């Protein structure tokens, strides 16, 4: 019963998501600011809970891909959630701030995404449920050119998707 | 999607029998000094530049009604090409004492000397159906002689700008002793939209910003296009599949295909080898980025580096024997040179700060790079062993140098800061002079210069 209700909600979310974000037409949740997220942040089984209550992202120091203690805390909960909600897969996006060349930042974003992926796999999430992508400095969240924004842009975001990967 | 019209062929021939008063140009450049009043007209390009060389170019003579649309336009493009180098200065036409109404008339040297025109360029255009013929001569005013033979081009009228660029290349070459770069194109990324949701598409234009054509739409993020040595293909990185992958695109048909797509990997930073058969690129797997080459015909890949550090931004030497790239194996981004087949790499950058995006000059003598130091970005050049580093620019964010076909000018991306920050294209001489913005319709980044067209 509960399951059916969730599925219906899910489909609605997909439709909205597909219109609101041309970057992800394939049923991913979150990743950008202002995406519609399914469920309520207080429902522990909902993507909204994952994105907002647990937190879908971890931040990094300048030029680093080492997980911070705060990051480890967030990712530990992400891993637990993913283990309990096995119908979801995730693409982990690695991002960099704008201080750096395009190519280097792509490689740096790949390191960050991979650090998160490795952590989640170590905590038991099946490797075939996780993919990584680097956006380098191409998709900043915050647009100012100082550390206040840079610190939020140096991130790895775990973007949930419904179902297995196709390809 | 725009289709690019087929490259037009030009016919080049000599104008009758003018005696070539060809100055003996010394090979190996060096300084640019203004021409002297006795001795052949000549600019030597070096660090010591001074005064640009004054030249006069009367409107080309239209020899028939059909040519009148092109005669003035062609001479204007030639003038703009030459002036844009910073090595030449155009004398305004309202200062002219005499005009040129007939291409065959003798040159009134005294009239041009009186306004201090050191070089005079005259020309005429005639038309026949859809074709036009452009003939021109260059004169060394102070020695009272033609500089080289008169030449003429014939071709389709639609290619009039290219004919103008070819004339300007010849004038540039006769006066500087270097090959020109005006008849060339630039592939770049046209940008639109806000900073946190940029839309990017590949575009191609003449080196001076004219004739823009789009090669992709903006449905997928695209980055860093690079020309093949023949100028017929472009390598670039696209997020078409959701993951960055290297694509190769045919410029004439805009047909594209993914170079390689290996599950779970990302590829980027591609560049052609000098023979156009091999691509060197970065591949990220498991968070680690290394360098690979791939034979385009067979799809056979070869791994060149194997280190936990980041290896990216590779560029071949013009003889194809070496690759310069950036790596943080020492703890920060630095430049390294290794054999094109892989193997031991030698670090060449040792100054303050971080070095990235090295590009080997087409002449083989210099490596251009992006440098980050003390919160600023610079475009610089160094010799291929890392010596004689010189920074040419400084700003909030300069990156991604590309060489003009003659190795004298560098184009790059400059991005302004803050939420309204925007990318634009700039060019600068390897002497550090003549910094100028390349005019594009909207924001633009990641320029890559083609070879001289044929």
ipTM of the complex: 0.89
pLDDT for B328 equals 97
* Closest partner CB to B356 (pick from A22, A103, A139): A103
Nearest to A110 among B196, B289, B397 (CB): B289
Q: E strands, B106-192, where?
A: 119-128, 131-140, 145-146, 151-156, 185-192
Smallest CA–CA distance, residue B406 to chain A, in Å, is 25
In chain A, residues with a C-beta closer than 8 Å to the C-beta of B198 are 138
Residue of A157, A155, A31, A143 lying closest to B193 (CA atoms): A143
Q: Is A107's CB within 8 Å of B356's CB?
A: no
User: What residues of B are in contact with residue A152 (Cβ under 8 Å)?
Assistant: none
**Residues of B (280-309) whose Cβ lies below 8 Å from A:** 282, 284, 286-289
- Nearest-Cα distance to chain A for B429, in Å, is 22
List chain A residues with CB under 8 Å of B417: 145
B92 touches chain A (CB under 8 A): no
| Per-residue pLDDT at A164 | 81
Predicted structure pTM score: 0.89
Where does residue B358 fall: left (phi above 0), alpha (psi -120 to 50 degrees), or beta otherwise? Answer: beta
Interface contact flag, B356 A101, Cβ < 8 Å? yes
In angstroms, the CA B363 to CA B181 distance is 13
- Three-state DSSP at B2 gives coil
Judged by CB atoms closer than 8 Å, whether chains meet at B313 and A103 is answered as yes
Q: What is the mean pLDDT of chain A?
A: 83
**DSSP letter at B106?**
P
pLDDT confidence of residue B39: 60
| Test the A interface: residue of B199, B280, B286, B287 with most A CBs within 10 Å | B287
What's the per-residue H, E or C state across B367-433? EEEEEEECCEEEEEEEECCCCCCEECCCECCEEEEEECCCCCEEEEEEECCCCCCCEEEEEEECCCC
Distance CA B224, CA B231 (A): 15
At residue B42, the pLDDT reads 72
Query: Inter-chain contact B266–A118, Cβ cutoff 8 Å?
Result: no
Tell me the C-alpha distance between B68 and B79, whole Å: 18
Can you tell me whether residue A89 is helix, strand or coil? Answer: strand
Question: Which residue of chain B has the CA closest to A130?
Answer: B264
Is residue B326 within 8 angstroms of chain A, CB to CB? yes
Provide the residue-wise pLDDT of chain B in tens; the chain has 454 residues.
333 333 345 566 665 433 232 232 222 232 333 333 446 677 666 555 568 999 999 999 999 999 998 999 999 999 999 999 999 999 999 999 998 999 999 999 999 999 999 999 999 999 999 999 999 999 999 999 999 999 999 999 999 999 999 999 999 999 999 999 999 999 999 999 999 999 999 999 999 999 999 999 999 999 999 999 999 999 999 999 999 999 999 999 999 999 977 888 999 999 999 999 999 999 999 999 999 999 999 999 999 999 999 999 999 999 999 999 999 999 999 999 999 999 999 999 999 999 999 999 999 999 999 999 999 999 999 999 999 999 999 999 999 999 999 999 999 999 999 999 999 999 999 999 999 999 999 999 999 999 999 8
DSSP state of B90: E
Judged on CB neighbours under 10 Å (0-12, 13-18, 19+), B43 is buried
pLDDT at A26: 41
Token pair belonging to A141: 């969240």
B415–A contact, CB cutoff 8 A: yes
The pLDDT score that the predictor gives to residue A29 is 57
- Residue B299, classed as helix, strand or coil, is coil
Q: How far is A162 from chain B (nearest CA, A)?
A: 16
Q: DSSP label at B309?
A: S
pLDDT tier at A167, thresholds 50, 70, 90: low
Q: Which of A103, A111, A113 sits opposite B282 (nearest CB)?
A: A103
Extract the tokens encoding B358: 């090295």
Closest partner CB to A104 (pick from B224, B356, B415): B356
pLDDT at residue A165, rounded to an integer: 81
Closest CA of chain B from A148, distance in Å: 12
Confidence (pLDDT) at B212: 96
Report pLDDT for B430: 94
Q: A143 and B417 in contact by Cβ < 8 A? A: no
Asked if residue A25 has pLDDT above 70, the reply is: no
pLDDT of residue B454: 81
Q: Give the closest residue to B160 by CA, choosing from B250, B67, B253, B82.
A: B67
Q: What residues of chain A lie within 8 A of the CB of B284, using their CB?
A: 106-107, 110, 134
A40: number of Cβ within 10 Å: 14
pLDDT of the residue at B51: 84
Q: What percent of chain A has pLDDT over 70?
A: 77
Query: Is-contact B236 B214, C-beta < 8 A?
Result: no
Q: Which of A106, A109, A111, A137 to mutate to test the interface with B (most CBs of B within 10 A)?
A: A106
For residue B246, the model assigns a pLDDT of 98
In this predicted structure, what is the pLDDT of residue B40?
A: 67
Report the C-alpha gap between B15 and B17 in whole angstroms: 6
Mutate to test the interface with B, among A101, A130, A145, A157 (most CBs of B within 10 A): A101
Q: Give the chain B residue nearest A93 (alpha carbons).
A: B243
Residue B331, chain A, CB below 8 Å: the answer is no
Region A92-106 average pLDDT: 97
Q: DSSP letters along B187-238, please? A: EEEEEES-GGG-EEEEEEEETTS-S-EESS-SSS-EEEEEE-TTSSEEEEEE
In percent, how much of chain A has pLDDT > 90? 71
Q: What are phi and psi of B415, to 5 degrees?
A: -115, 135
Residues A103-123 have a mean pLDDT of 98
| Tokens representing residue B116 in the block | 């201090």
Pick among A24, A31, A104, A119 to test the B interface (most B CBs inside 10 A): A104
Neighbours of B7 (CB within 10 A): 14
- Enumerate the residues of chain B whose CB falls inside 8 A of the CB of residue A118: 287
């Amino acid at each position: 019963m509960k399951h059916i209700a969730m599925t219906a909600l899910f489909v609605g979310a997909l439709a909205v998501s597909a219109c609101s974000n041309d970057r992800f037409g394939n049923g991913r949740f979150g990743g950008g600011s202002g995406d519609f997220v399914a469920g309520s942040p207080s429902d522990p089984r909902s993507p909204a809970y994952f994105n907002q209550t647990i937190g879908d992202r971890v931040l990094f120091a300048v030029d680093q891909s080492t997980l911070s203690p705060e990051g480890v805390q967030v990712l530990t909960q992400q891993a637990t959630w993913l283990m309990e909600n096995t119908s979801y897969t995730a693409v982990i996006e690695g991002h960099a701030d704008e201080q750096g060349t395009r190519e280097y930042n792509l490689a740096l974003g790949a390191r960050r995404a991979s650090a998160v992926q490795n952590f989640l796999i170590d905590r038991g999430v099946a490797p075939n449920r996780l993919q990584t992508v680097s956006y380098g400095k191409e998709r900043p969240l915050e647009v100012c050119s100082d550390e206040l924004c840079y610190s939020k842009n140096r991130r790895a975001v775990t973007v949930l998707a419904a179902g297995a990967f196709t390809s | 999607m725009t289709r690019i019209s087929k490259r037009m062929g030009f016919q080049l021939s000599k104008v009758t029998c003018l005696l070539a008063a060809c100055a003996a140009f010394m090979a190996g450049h060096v300084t640019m000094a203004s021409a002297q009043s006795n001795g052949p007209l000549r600019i030597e390009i070096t660090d010591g530049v001074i005064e640009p060389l004054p030249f006069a170019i009367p409107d080309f003579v239209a020899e028939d009604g059909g040519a009148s649309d092109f005669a003035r336009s062609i001479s204007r493009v030639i003038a703009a090409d030459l002036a844009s180098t910073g090595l030449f200065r155009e004398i305004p036409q309202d200062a002219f004492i005499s005009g040129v109404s007939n291409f065959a008339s003798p040159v009134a040297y005294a009239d041009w000397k009186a306004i201090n025109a050191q070089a005079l360029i005259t020309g005429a255009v005639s038309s026949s159906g859809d074709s036009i013929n452009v003939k021109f001569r260059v004169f060394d005013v102070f020695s009272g002689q033609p500089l080289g033979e008169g030449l003429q081009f014939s071709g389709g009228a639609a290619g009039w700008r290219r004919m103008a660029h070819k004339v300007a290349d010849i004038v540039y070459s006769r006066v500087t002793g270097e090959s020109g770069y005006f008849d060339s194109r630039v592939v770049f990324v046209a940008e639109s939209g806000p900073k946190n949701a940029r839309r990017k598409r590949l575009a191609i234009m003449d080196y001076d910003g004219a004739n823009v054509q789009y090669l992709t739409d903006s449905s997928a993020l695209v980055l860093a296009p690079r020309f093949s040595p023949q100028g017929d293909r472009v390598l670039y990185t696209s997020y078409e599949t959701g993951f960055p992958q290297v694509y190769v695109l045919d410029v004439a048909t805009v047909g594209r295909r993914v170079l390689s797509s290996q599950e779970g990997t990302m590829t980027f930073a591609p560049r052609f080898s000098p023979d156009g058969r091999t691509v060197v690129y970065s591949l990220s797997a498991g968070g680690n980025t290394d360098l690979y080459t791939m034979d385009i015909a067979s799809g056979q890949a070869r791994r060149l580096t194997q280190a936990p550090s980041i290896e990216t931004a590779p560029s071949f030497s013009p003889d194809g024997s070496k690759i310069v790239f950036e790596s943080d194996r020492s703890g920060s981004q630095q430049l390294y040179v290794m054999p094109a087949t892989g193997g031991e790499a030698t670090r060449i950058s040792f100054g303050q700060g971080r070095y990235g995006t090295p590009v080997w000059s087409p002449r083989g003598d210099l490596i251009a790079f992006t440098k980050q130091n003390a919160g600023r970005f610079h475009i610089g050049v160094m010799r291929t062993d890392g010596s004689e580093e010189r920074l040419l620019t400084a700003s909030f964010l300069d990156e991604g140098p590309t060489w003009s076909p003659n190795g004298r000018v560098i184009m790059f991306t400059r991005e302004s800061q803050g939420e309204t920050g925007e990318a634009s294209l700039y060019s600068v001489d390897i002497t550090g002079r003549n910094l100028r913005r390349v005019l594009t319709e909207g924001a633009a980044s990641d320029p890559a210069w083609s070879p001289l067209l044929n």
